[in-house]
Structure formats: structure tokens, C-alpha cells
Amino acid sequence: MSIYNIQATTIQGKEVQLDDYKGKVLVIVNTASKCGFTPQYSDLQKLYDRYKEQGLEILGFPCNQFNEQEPGSHEEVESFCQINYGVKFPLFEKTDVRGRDAHPVFRYLTEQAPFEGFDLTNSSGKLLHAFLQEKHPELLLGDDVKWNFTKFVIDREGNVVGRFEPTAEPLDMEPTIEALLK
């Protein structure tokens, strides 16, 4: 099994085979419009603008599984992202990223890059961990995506080389992305 054997549907309803992205460095991220991490769209777009010509693609998968923070229609999600953050990278239809109905992309990614915990040396890592422990302890179990804006980096050969939890800023991935683009 490879990431390239999976297909997904864009937010406009077009089926895409992920092998269309062979030879690219990918960042795959689950997103939401009403989350405390939503401003990460801005830096994701900066990375896309900075490295697209060198072979970076960012694939955003809106998800409503975490406190219903992505309630809008596909059209509303796309419009929100473009108007508020100037998002030009590909967005896909709203999907589940954890549990029984998780999209195959996220089942594959979490198998390849298991959850290693939050960075408890920074305040947002401590806050998210404490919030989940108190309100949603079931989300801390296993390797599934824990919250919105979990980011996975895939090299040009389709290998998952990094998992960045929601508390990691998109620009924290820049050294990894730059190394893979060389």
C-alpha cells in the first residue's frame, strides 16, 4: 500500500488519484474553520507560495469531527478559506480523519506516523493535552489524529517522514520541507 494508491474528492467534487502528486513533497493536513488553530491557514499558504515552484503541494482536508468546528458546506468552507486566508492550495471534501469512518488517506498516514504525544514544553501543547484529557480523553488513545491541523509531511517517493501535531506551527515544518525539496 502506498499513499499513491488512494483517491480523494476535491472540495469541488472532482475525484483525484493521489498518484497525481508523485514526485512532489506533500503536506497533508486536516483543517477546520472555527478552531483555535484556524489561523494556521495563513502560514500554510505562505509555505505553499514559497515552495510550490520547487515541488511542494499542500492538501487540506476539512473535518467536522472535533467539536463540530467545520459545520459549513463545501462552498462555505472554500469561500471562508479564500476570503480570510487567501488559500490557493487544494482543498478536499469534508471528511472523517479518525475512527471507523476515517478516510483512507488518514488511516494510511496514522499507520505510517503514529502519535508520539504533544510537546508539553510549550504552552499550547500543555493546553491541548489538558483540554483533551478533561473533555475528550478517548481522543488521546491510539494513533488516530487527535485534533484539527495535524500535519503530515510526505517525501517525493511517497514516504511519510513527519507528523506535526496541531500545536506545531506550520513554519516549524519548513526545515523538513526544505531538506526534502533539495
Q: Which residues are catalytic?
A: 35
| Rg, C-alpha atoms of the chain | 15
Find out whether 91 and 63 touch, Cβ atoms under 8 Å: no
Q: Which residues pair with 28 in a beta bridge?
A: 59, 152
Selection from 36, 138, 31, 154 nearest residue 87 by Cα = 31
Q: Is 22 exposed, middle or buried (0-12, 13-18, 19+ CB in 10 A)?
A: middle
Q: Which residues pair with 45 in a beta bridge?
A: none
DSSP state of 97: -
Hey, is 10 helix, strand or coil? strand
Cα angle 32, 48, 89; round to 5? 50
